[in-house]
Structure 1
Amino acid sequence: MTTAEWFLDFAERQARGSSPTYERLARGVATDQAVLTLIDTVPPAKRQTNLLFGVVRLLGGPVGDYPDFRRFVLGNWPAIEPELLRRATQTNEIGRCALLLPVLAALPQPLALLEVGASAGLNLFPDRFSYDYGAGRLGSTGPVLTCELTGRTPPGKLPEVVWRAGLDLNPLDITAPADRAWLEALIWPEHDDRRQRLRAAGEIAAADPPHLIRGDLVDDLPVLAASAPPEATLVVFHSSVLYQVPADRRETFKALVGTLPGHWVAVEDPETMGHPDRPTDGLHKNVLCLDGEPLAWTEGHGRRMSWFGGA
């Protein structure tokens, strides 16, 4: 996929119906050869749409109007390029906990949670958030995560979590102002609700910082997994992470995680999970899988889930 096709795909499949601002910018970049030429000077993994937009916002650049955005990118590329090279799209979207909860609540309790691509580790606290699937509130603490769930009964209980740890190439510290600024820059402009949820989850994590390890999802996963308490069900999970991992490394990770005790929960693009189908309604972008088996179509930020798999 060319860079232009990547930005157009983002506009069509991710931003359309969710962020008019980012849809407009992505379509503009997709047809702008001058901007595309600059983007193509960085490695493919650093050409991600979200990464460019987040860096521009972090540097105080305009995103409301494409001509202004274009002038900023062309005029400030020497500042933008190093930020692209050193950063990654570490969107710590806690709304995805609403996608994980139906699986987590149904597994043998208590749980030992290990998140791959943990960012600041905010999704390691699904037991401390509240949820609304349209049939009343579940939970009494933290931000309320609203998710439109079809195809199955909403979960009736929260998971019991006795251990939580995260693995990331560059773990973020939710108590560090610079790291918080990057997390907020990654939230799409119109999504004020997500921004407020991030701040509320950040307070929870800052009061009880999760155990985060700087490491690789293949090389360092077994040792961290082995440190989980044996009396708990180990759950290795991740959401919107594997698209950033090279295909060969991705397959190595899948083979490895299948050898670990416990369970593997993933919310990823269907292609990265080897799932040949795609939802066609324009609302659901990813697929929720348990131990590699697809269970539900999901919206990228956790707002909707359409269940089609087993209980």
Structure 2
Amino acid sequence: MSTADTYQAFADREARDVSPTYHRLSRAVARDPELLALLDTLPEAKRQPNLLFGVVRLRGGPVADPAAFRDHVLAHWPDIAAQMRVRATQTNEAGRCAVLLPVLAALPQPLALLEVGASAGLCLYPDRFGYRYGDRRVGDGEPVLDCALAGTAPPDRRPEVVWRAGLDVHPLDVTDPADLAWLDALIWPEHTHRRDRLRAAAAVAAADPPLLVRGDLVDDLPALAARAPAGATLVVFHSSVLYQVPAARRAAFTALVRTLPGHWLANEDPAVLPHAAMPAPPDGGFHNVLALDGRPLAWTRGHGQAATWFG
């Protein structure tokens, strides 16, 4: 896929009706030969819209007006390119716990959670957050995560978690202002509720830090999984991570994770982690697929705001 196609697809699949700002911006970049030529000087994995827009926001650049954005990128390209080369999209959306919860609550308790691509580890606290599925409230923690759930009943409890660990090539620390600023910059401009949610979830993680290990999802996963306590159900999970992993490494990871004890819970774009015999998604918006041990269960929205069960 060309860079222009990538930005147009992001506008059409992910940003439309979710972020008018990024929808306009992505379409403008997709039609701008000069910006596309600059982006094409970067490695393919570093050209993605969320990374560009996040870096511009982190450095104080404008995103509301495509013309002002263009002028800023052209004027500051060396700095922007340098940042894009060393950073990765590490959106740590705690809201995704709301679509994981029905599965996590149904597994044999207690759980040992191991998140691949954990960023700052905010999704390692499904037992601490509160949830609202329509008029059904589960748990009394903060933040409260809202999710429109269809096709299955809301869970009646939160899981019991006795161990939580994360694996990431560059773990983030929510107590570091620079790392928290990067997480904030990755939240889309209009999403004030997600920004509030980030700070509430960060407070939970700061009060009881998870074990975060710098490492590779293939080379270092078995050793970290072996540290899970006996008597707990190991759950290796990931959400919107594998699109950043080259295809060969994705294949190596999915082969490896199937050999580990416990369960494998994936919440990924079906174009990246495909499944056979999938029903159509519920509407035209972008959806991930939630799958347990390779079996697809539900369509989920990217920030955990909705899930439609079919499995």
How high is the TM-score relative to the length of structure 2? 0.98
1:29 alignment counterpart: 29
SS at match of 1:142: coil
Instruction: Say whether the 8 Å CA contact 1:273–1:292 is kept in structure 2.
Output: no
CA distance in 2, matches of 1:116, 1:76: 33
Superposed CA offset, 1:100-149 (max 9, x none): 00000000000000000000001000100000111321101111100000
1:46-85 equivalences under 5 Å are 46-85=46-85
Instruction: Say whether the 8 Å CA contact 2:133–2:146 is kept in structure 1.
Output: yes
Q: How far is 1:272 from its partner?
A: 1.5
1:111 alignment counterpart: 111
1:1-311 equivalences under 5 Å are 1-275=1-275, 277=278, 279=281, 281-309=283-311
Instruction: Say whether the 8 Å CA contact 2:120–2:172 is kept in structure 1.
Output: yes
Superposed CA offset, 1:261-285 (max 9, x none): 0000011000221225452612351
CA distance in 1, matches of 2:94, 2:289: 17
SS at match of 1:12: helix
Further displaced range: 105-114 or 135-144: 135-144
CA distance in 2, matches of 1:122, 1:205: 6
Q: How far is 1:213 from its partner?
A: 0.2
Q: Which amino acid aligns with 1:304?
A: A
CA distance in 1, matches of 2:170, 2:128: 25
SS at match of 1:89: coil
CA distance in 2, matches of 1:280, 1:66: 31
Q: Which amino acid aligns with 2:84?
A: L
SS at match of 2:131: strand
Superposed CA offset, 1:132-178 (max 9, x none): 11132110111110000000111111000000000000000110000
CA distance in 1, matches of 2:213, 2:131: 28
Instruction: Say whether the 8 Å CA contact 2:265–2:291 is kept in structure 1.
Output: yes
CA distance in 1, matches of 2:185, 2:135: 33
CA distance in 2, matches of 1:147, 1:308: 16
CA distance in 1, matches of 2:132, 2:166: 26
Structure 1: which 4+ aligned runs deviate by more than 6 Å? none
SS at match of 1:113: strand
Gaps of 5+ in 1: none
Q: Which amino acid aligns with 2:217?
A: L
CA RMSD in angstroms comes to: 0.8
CA distance in 2, matches of 1:282, 1:241: 22
SS at match of 2:127: helix
CA distance in 1, matches of 2:298, 2:98: 12
Q: Which amino acid aligns with 1:159?
A: P
Q: Which amino acid aligns with 1:151?
A: G
Q: How far is 1:305 from its partner?
A: 0.5
SS at match of 2:159: coil
- Counting matched residue pairs gives 309
CA distance in 2, matches of 1:266, 1:53: 26
Q: Which amino acid aligns with 2:182?
A: W
Q: Which amino acid aligns with 1:285?
A: H
Superposed CA offset, 1:50-73 (max 9, x none): 000000000000000000000001
Q: Which amino acid aligns with 1:123?
A: C
SS at match of 1:126: coil
Instruction: Say whether the 8 Å CA contact 2:136–2:154 is kept in structure 1.
Output: no
CA distance in 2, matches of 1:252, 1:271: 17
